[in-house]
Chains A and B, each alone.
Chain A
Amino acid sequence: MNHSLEVRNLHVSIDGQAILKGFNLTVPKGEVHALMGPNGTGKSTLAKVMAGHEDYTVESGEVLLNGVNILGQEPDEISHAGLFLAFQYPMEIPGVSIANFIRAAKQARLPEGEEINAIEYYKDLYAKMDALKMDRKFTARSLNEGFSGGEKKRCEILQMAMLDPKYCVMDETDSGLDIDALRIVSEGVNHMRSENRAFLVITHYQRLLDYIVPDVVHVMFDGRIVHSGDKELAKELESKGYDWVKEAFATASA
């Protein structure tokens, strides 16, 4: 079996406008890849298409998890297949507590008739909240409702840790985080790094990559990856700015 997240020649449009234009990427298990690029270049679209969002039209291409194409599957099927998306803007779900939500999400993965062990569940939940320095009182709060930007992002990482996905896509997780929160969230992610898991970290800034050190950095522009390198590439981008990317690759792709 092919243990990777693989995107092959993906073309995606919304309302007739092309956004992804032949996107290719392979993230093998055990690696962390960063995807960087200017705003409006298609990073978030890629994340949502991989998760099965229905607003986008896939013109051609494939997204393979362990070699199986997930495009066209329902979002919950993709989730069960092992892909987790940490949202840039997590939704508020009034009246649904964090504890009940994560429990329902875990329950949805069990075979029919099998029940989650409540004691084990809470033990696990509390341990992971402690690691993310989240107050245990948070379990009873409505999911994301009235949360600060940092609290929302921590809650995303908590869900990711609890659901134990094999492929983690993190969309601008660093936005809205102060430096302390950034460190805590990054520790949470680093703790999850393993031979059995792949990460795609989408970010606009190099800052996050000081904490979550990537194996590979990709630069995205105008709907595709235009340049890849090691972690030093992120620093180069930081110093030269995205205008450099635009200048270097706008002409190349024209």
Chain B
Amino acid sequence: MSDTDLQDQAIQVDTEKGNFKYPENYEFDAGIGLTEDTVKYISDVKDDPDWVREFRLKALEVFKKKPMPTKWADKDLENIDFDKIRYYLSKGQQPARSWDDVPDDVKETFERLGIPEQERKFLAGVEAQFDSEASYSRMKEDLEKEGVIFVGSSEGLAEYPEIFKPYFGKVIPTADNKFSALNSATFSGGSFIYVPKGVKLKQPLQAYFRINAENFGQFERTLIIADEDSEITYMEGCTAPKFETATLHSAVVELVALKNAKIQYITVQNWSSNVFNLVTKRGMADEGAEVKWIDCNIGSRLTMKYPGVVLKGKGARGEVLSIALANDGQHQDTGAKMMHLADNTTSNIISKSISIGKGRSTYRGQVHMPKHLKNCKNNTECDALLINTNSRTDTYPAITTRGQNNTVQHEASVSKVSAEQIFYMMQRGLSEGEAMSLAVNGFVNELMKAFPMEYSVELKRLIDMEMEGSVG
């Protein structure tokens, strides 16, 4: 298969393709700013059960009390004005099961992004969220028959409380951080997935998150539960039009992998460069289970995201593979957390960051292995590539290993694409942009092999576009 064929199949999420919007026309609007009334409005519209109403209001209190993490994080956070953001916008609460029933402007949005086409080609199910609510949600019928649940978070908590409630907010408690509290107060949309015992999904489920409105905050909430011996791959993509004002995206994603289950969660984040992307993601892995985060951050103004795995059962495995690309005006503050809580648990972190121009990349890692554990292993590799001297990269690894017989391996490197490398490649006939792209693609090449083909091709294309734009 040639590259052109692959590209035709690729997921189209490039910035140009995402940079369009339709006029705003919402039936439900919580107004501007965040108060108890805002939260109550969201609960009313969604017809939340009492426990969720309480959960939200408590979370709002926690959010108000918690300071911004600017003591250690980027001061740019101070530019978020919570009083100017709109917290809930939707055209209705029920997602359509057929694209024909999706409102025209929303349908056109997703068609331009290529979502229905991908669904036909290689996905087992799709949920497409437009601002606060999913406009479309559908899964293949045979999966439904096997007992797989793939619905929005509101439907999940309303229809399947016996599965939803015991895990919701347990992997990531409300008070984990300021933004997990914000999400817990205002959450809307996102996916609830349950995969029954022994069911192994051969094709991925996908969610696509789209922000259309200005001055808006998107707070989706995803909970995935993989029962014993089951397997699932979930992919998410995201875009927004470029606005002059700041947009906020603050999701919470909780994964639960029960005994011997496997969850793979893939993100290609390509928000426009005005989006604050402040996301909390964590998985829990029971005995023999595996949670793998594959995380690519190309867009946004500031991303703060440190996917984690709590290795709760013996022999559990956790993995974070991440690629971050920070261009002018962007800060990709990413990393990983691995909490070893049982013997024979292993974790692997591979992080590659690319900083271009005035772009900035930060890696923050945390690996925790308490004293009483045996035979735990962690491998951490973080490599940074600098495209010119103004670029900045910081690495903050925190590895605490106390036990005997536990092994930790940590490697970090910073390299540059040198002028001599570029000259060499240009001598062979490549333009400066092509030479840069090739060097950057080479840098992430090994890691890209871990991605499903459709995503790695798209990622390569996104990198090419970013690099072309970076050569002055």
Spot the interface stretch: B9-17, B392-400, B439-447.
B439-447
Say yes or no: is A248 at the interface (Cβ < 8 Å to chain B): no
CA distance A136 to B240 in the complex (A): 46
Q: Roughly how many angstroms separate A51 CA and B419 CA in the complex, as a whole number?
A: 14
Q: A53-B423, A91-B424 are in contact. Are A109 and B429 (CB under 8 A)?
A: yes
Q: Of B4, B434, B439, B444, which is within 8 A of A93 by CB? A: B439
**Given contacts A53-B423, A76-B426, A87-B424, is CB(A95)–CB(B431) below 8 Å?**
no
With a cutoff of 8 Å between Cβ atoms, the chain B residues found around residue A54 in the complex are 419, 423
B419-431 interface bits toward A, Cβ cutoff 8 Å, 1 = contact, 0 = none: 1110111111111
Chain A 107-124 interface 0/1 with B at a Cβ cutoff of 8 Å (1 = within): 011000001001000000
Q: Is the CB of B443 within 8 A of A118?
A: no
B2 touches A105 (CB 8 A): no
Q: Is the CB of B2 within 8 A of A118?
A: yes
B438 contacts partner chain A, Cβ-Cβ < 8 Å:
yes
* In the complex, chain B residues 387-431 whose Cβ is within 8 Å of any chain A Cβ: 415, 418-421, 423-431
A223-239 contacts to B, CB under 8 A, are none
A109–B430 alpha-carbon span in the complex (Å): 9
Residue on B nearest A95 in the bound complex, by CB? B442
B427 engages A108 (CB within 8 Å): no
Q: Does A242 touch B at the CB level, under 8 Å? A: no
Chain A residues, CB < 8 A from B423: 51, 53-54, 75, 91
| A74 interface hit (Cβ, 8 Å) | yes
Task: Confirm or deny: A241 has a beta carbon within 8 angstroms of a beta carbon on chain B.
Answer: no
Does any Cβ of A come within 8 Å of B432's Cβ?
yes
Q: How far is it, in angstroms, between the C-alpha of A163 and the C-alpha of B430 when the chains are bound? A: 12
| CB contact between A142 and one of B420, B425, B442 (< 8 Å): that residue | B442
Is the Cβ of B438 less than 8 Å from the Cβ of A104? yes
Evaluate contact between B420 and A91: CB separation under 8 angstroms: yes
Q: B1-35 toward A: CB 8 Å interface, digit per residue (1/0)? A: 01010000000000000000000000000000000
Give the residue name and chain of the A residue nearest to B421 (CB): A91
Q: Is the CB of A76 within 8 A of B432?
A: yes
Option from A53, A85, A101 in Cβ contact (under 8 Å) with B438: A101
A106-B438 Cα distance, complex, nearest whole Å: 14
Cβ-defined contact, B443 with A95, below 8 A:
yes
Residues from chain A with Cβ under 8 Å of B421 in the complex: 91-93
The answer to whether A163 touches B425 (Cβ under 8 A) is no
CB-CB < 8 A to B441: which residues of A?
Answer: 95-96
Residues of B within 8 A of A118 (CB): 2
> A96 touching B442 by the CB < 8 A rule?
yes
On whether the beta carbons of B429 and A93 are closer than 8 Å, the reply is no
Task: List the B side residues contacting A128 at CB < 8 Å.
Answer: none
Q: Note all chain A residues with C-beta closer than 8 A to B444.
A: 95
User: Chain A: how many interface residues by the 8 Å CB criterion?
Assistant: 33
- Give the complex CA separation of A87 and B420 in angstroms: 11
CB distance from A72 to the nearest CB of B (A): 15
Interface string of A36-80 (1 = CB under 8 A from B): 000000000000000111100000000000000000001110111
**B 216-256 contacts with A by CB, 8 A:** none
Q: Which of A161-181 contact B (CB under 8 A)?
A: 163
Dominant SS at the B interface?
helix
For residue A94, CB closer than 8 A to chain B, the reply is yes
**Cα A163 to Cα B425 with chains together (Å):** 13
Chain A nearest CB, measured from B374 CB (Å): 37
Question: Which chain B residues numbered 157 to 185 have a C-beta less than 8 Å away from chain A?
Answer: none
> Of A51, A52, A94, A104, which one neighbours B434 at CB under 8 angstroms?
A104
Q: B427 near A75 (CB under 8 angstroms)?
A: yes
Find chain B residues with CB under 8 A from A203 CB.
none
B197 CB to nearest A CB, Å: 41
Task: Using CB atoms, name the residue of chain A closest to B430.
Answer: A108
* Complex interface: chain A residues within 8 A of B438 (CB): 93, 96, 100-101, 104
Bound-state CA distance A87–B446 (Å) is 27
Give chain B residues whose Cβ lies under 8 Å from the Cβ of A109. Answer: 429
Bound complex: CA of A96 vs CA of B441, how far in Å?
A: 8
A4 contacts the other chain (Cβ, under 8 Å)? no
**With A93-B421, A93-B439, A104-B438: A75-B445 Cβ-Cβ less than 8 Å:** no
Given the interface pairs A91-B420, A108-B434, A115-B2, the reply to whether A159 lies near B443 with Cβ below 8 Å is: no
Q: How far is B204's CA from A109's CA once the two chains are assembled, in angstroms? A: 39
Residues of B within 8 A of A95 (CB): 441-446
Chain B residues, Cβ within 8 Å of A87? 424, 427
Query: Which residue of chain B has its CB nearest to the CB of A143?
Result: B442
Q: A91-B420, A91-B424, A115-B4 are in contact. Are A105 and B429 (CB under 8 A)?
A: yes
Binary per-residue interface labels of chain B (281-309) against chain A in the complex, 1 for a CB within 8 Å, 0 otherwise: 00000000000000000000000000000
Report the minimum CB–CB distance from B273 to chain A (whole Å).
Answer: 27
Chain A's closest residue to B425 (CB) is A93
The residue that B427 contacts in the complex, of A85, A92, A96, A100, with Cβ under 8 A, is: A85
The 21 sampled A-B contact pairs (Cβ below 8 Å) are: A74-B431, A75-B423, A75-B426, A76-B431, A78-B427, A79-B427, A79-B428, A79-B429, A92-B421, A93-B438, A93-B439, A94-B443, A95-B445, A101-B425, A101-B428, A101-B438, A105-B428, A108-B429, A108-B434, A142-B442, A159-B428
Interface residues of B (CB under 8 A from A): 2, 4, 415, 418-421, 423-432, 434, 438-439, 441-446
The 3 closest A-B pairs by CB, nearest first: A95-B442, A75-B426, A96-B442
